[in-house]
A and B are shown apart, each in its own frame.
Chain A
């Protein structure tokens, strides 16, 4: 069995599982946000049980339209707040304590290796970086998960990504995952697991891995998962996560496909509108003038991302006519960035720095695009209308590329701005 299949079998109380098999599995964490939880709460109220299965295994994170962007959003978070109070939900994160959910849960040690996590948010696949089986579901799944602690799954087959080598300067996990999505397409891993293994994994930071697992859904995958190593274990220990259970794929595990990826060959990569698979490297990119830069989100709002952006922006200015918006993903990251002087660097460069929120990534608030405008964003989707007007455009890139583009006012490689 693969890593994913082993975790699912253990949580279904089965010795083994096969691809395509339908199972009921225990879940270790059920997650929702201020958009998906209200729908889940409506469904939860129709369930006879009337109570949650475990008030410590539910996380409600108010991050999408929070700080509340309008009256309707305020009503939605109020509904979540009331529900959290009524059911004594331990991990309820409201404005001031919340962060972007997929940065917040790992940081707070709420997920460990070997866990099964479902979240009513498609980027729940992020926690695969920690060696967990973690997948996005809908609000009804969330409601039933909150009531029963169970979820149904079709056991996925898998694609293996054998990583070798080491990333070059100004290349990060974002470039790797964009490269992979460009190679296999937005439905290249449909219904399947993406399992990342090989010597190259060891050279990737947790931020790189979280970013890569985060975008597994953009290839259609059910989950992305990394082999657990010392870096994972020390991350989990530092976060105060519960004792990890490490699953390794069997030597005879079956993969539908195996891709060998040499990390040293990956170049800064950009996904052009309107699909994450429309990737290009800078030798194929001409002059693309931009109006906005967004650095943040569950994909790239971590400390490492802000450090890379600050390296590029230090002592430089955001180009005239460009709005740069930088959003630390959690309060802790915000504080660390402040203590390291990164926030000062951003503000001196002429960037706006905001409290944590998903805001602009999904065209919610805090940086919406007008008709015809272009943004370079470290977010995860560039669908039609994703960040605002249906005739606006989003180019997905790494924090270093986004920062470099902010300085030049056009889509730019970091080395154009800071040299090799």
Chain B
């Protein structure tokens, strides 16, 4: 799978409370959640995000609450990929489970600037910064996680009989 988009960049410790504030958690409607995405950190996000855009951030992205509403809001906003130096662990598994593409890559997250055009090839594990004409290698996901991603998320993996009692 390949994606290409313009980068919107944030810093370290972007928590799920700023990704989607709790005052909007009285719904599970994806479009409504997306309409408040990043609101307490960046009020301009919802007006400037375009389908295919990428989010790049620092350490511990998605820390805090387990609310799956956070990756849902980001995905529904049209974000095609989130690159970070590191992800908080619940956000990390939620993204995999719902099929929001994420890549942990400290080099890329450090080097990429707001507004850069970036391409990513998930199978080869390569991120290419078109604007800066640079490439960053990433660690591919472990086989088990790739299978969940290829199935289209955890629910589909369950339906395909991949999650069986031991």
Q: Which residues of A contact B (CB under 8 A)?
A: 11-13, 22, 24-26, 35-36, 38-39, 42-43, 46-49, 64-65, 69-70, 72-73, 76, 119-122, 124, 136-141, 143-144, 147-150, 152, 186-187, 190-191, 217, 220, 222, 275, 362-364, 381, 383-386, 390
Chain A, Cβ-Cβ closest to B61: A187
Contact A39 B60 (CB under 8 A): no
Contact A137 B90 (CB under 8 A): yes
Further contacts, 5 of them, CB under 8 A, given A35-B22, A120-B66, A222-B89: A139-B94, A140-B98, A140-B154, A152-B163, A362-B25
Q: Does B138 contact A (CB under 8 A)?
A: no
The smallest beta-carbon distance between B33 and chain A, in angstroms, is 10
Contact A136 B165 (CB under 8 A): no
Contact A383 B18 (CB under 8 A): yes
Q: Does B69 contact A (CB under 8 A)?
A: yes
Contact (A35, B63) CB under 8 Å given A26-B165, A150-B164, A220-B88: no
Contact A42 B28 (CB under 8 A): yes
Chain B, Cβ-Cβ closest to A147: B158
| A11 to B165 Cα, complex, angstroms | 10
> Chain A residues near B153 (CB, 8 Å)?
140
Contact (A120, B68) CB under 8 Å given A140-B154, A187-B59: yes
Q: Which 6 A-B pairs have the closest CB atoms?
A: A138-B94, A72-B26, A138-B68, A140-B97, A187-B60, A122-B66
> Chain B residues near A364 (CB, 8 Å)?
22-23, 25
The smallest beta-carbon distance between B133 and chain A, in angstroms, is 31
Contact A384 B40 (CB under 8 A): yes
Chain B, Cβ-Cβ closest to A275: B13
Partner of B144, one of A46, A70, A152: A152
Partner of B66, one of A12, A138, A222: A138
> Chain B residues near A150 (CB, 8 Å)?
163-166
11 A-B pairs in the complex with CB atoms less than 8 angstroms apart: A140-B94, A140-B97, A141-B154, A149-B165, A150-B166, A152-B148, A186-B13, A190-B88, A220-B63, A222-B89, A362-B22
Most central of B18, B59, B89, B94 by chain A CB within 10 Å: B89
The smallest beta-carbon distance between A154 and chain B, in angstroms, is 8
| A362 to B25 Cα, complex, angstroms | 10
Contact A36 B22 (CB under 8 A): no
Q: Does B106 contact A (CB under 8 A)?
A: no
| A137 to B89 Cα, complex, angstroms | 9
Partner of A140, one of B13, B25, B144, B155: B155
Interface residues of B in 5-23 (CB under 8 A from A): 13, 15, 17-18, 21-23
The smallest beta-carbon distance between A225 and chain B, in angstroms, is 15
| A121 to B145 Cα, complex, angstroms | 22
The smallest beta-carbon distance between A322 and chain B, in angstroms, is 24
Q: Does B86 contact A (CB under 8 A)?
A: yes
> Chain B residues near A384 (CB, 8 Å)?
15, 17-18, 40-41
> Chain B residues near A12 (CB, 8 Å)?
166
Q: Does B27 contact A (CB under 8 A)?
A: yes
Contact A136 B66 (CB under 8 A): yes
| A120 to B71 Cα, complex, angstroms | 14
Q: Does B159 contact A (CB under 8 A)?
A: yes
| A213 to B121 Cα, complex, angstroms | 39
Chain A, Cβ-Cβ closest to B43: A390
The smallest beta-carbon distance between B58 and chain A, in angstroms, is 10
The smallest beta-carbon distance between A96 and chain B, in angstroms, is 20
Q: Does B93 contact A (CB under 8 A)?
A: yes
> Chain B residues near A140 (CB, 8 Å)?
68, 94, 97-98, 153-155
1/0 per position for B42-73, CB-CB distance to A under 8 A?
00000000000000000110011111110110
Chain B, Cβ-Cβ closest to A39: B28
Contact A22 B144 (CB under 8 A): yes
| A384 to B22 Cα, complex, angstroms | 12
Contact A46 B155 (CB under 8 A): yes
| A220 to B165 Cα, complex, angstroms | 29
Contact (A138, B93) CB under 8 Å given A144-B155, A152-B144, A385-B18: yes
> Chain B residues near A49 (CB, 8 Å)?
158
The smallest beta-carbon distance between B43 and chain A, in angstroms, is 9
Contact A186 B67 (CB under 8 A): no
Contact (A190, B155) CB under 8 Å given A120-B66, A138-B94: no
Contact A72 B166 (CB under 8 A): no
Contact (A136, B40) CB under 8 Å given A141-B154, A150-B164: no
Partner of A43, one of B64, B86, B155: B155
Chain A, Cβ-Cβ closest to B156: A46
> Chain A residues near B164 (CB, 8 Å)?
24, 148, 150
1/0 per position for B79-104, CB-CB distance to A under 8 A?
00000001011100110011000000
Contact A35 B67 (CB under 8 A): yes
> Chain B residues near A72 (CB, 8 Å)?
26-27
> Chain A residues near B86 (CB, 8 Å)?
187, 190
Partner of A385, one of B17, B25, B145, B166: B17
Contact B163 A36 (CB under 8 A): no
| A97 to B24 Cα, complex, angstroms | 25
> Chain A residues near B158 (CB, 8 Å)?
47-49, 144, 147-148
> Chain B residues near A390 (CB, 8 Å)?
40
The smallest beta-carbon distance between B72 and chain A, in angstroms, is 8
Contact B166 A383 (CB under 8 A): no
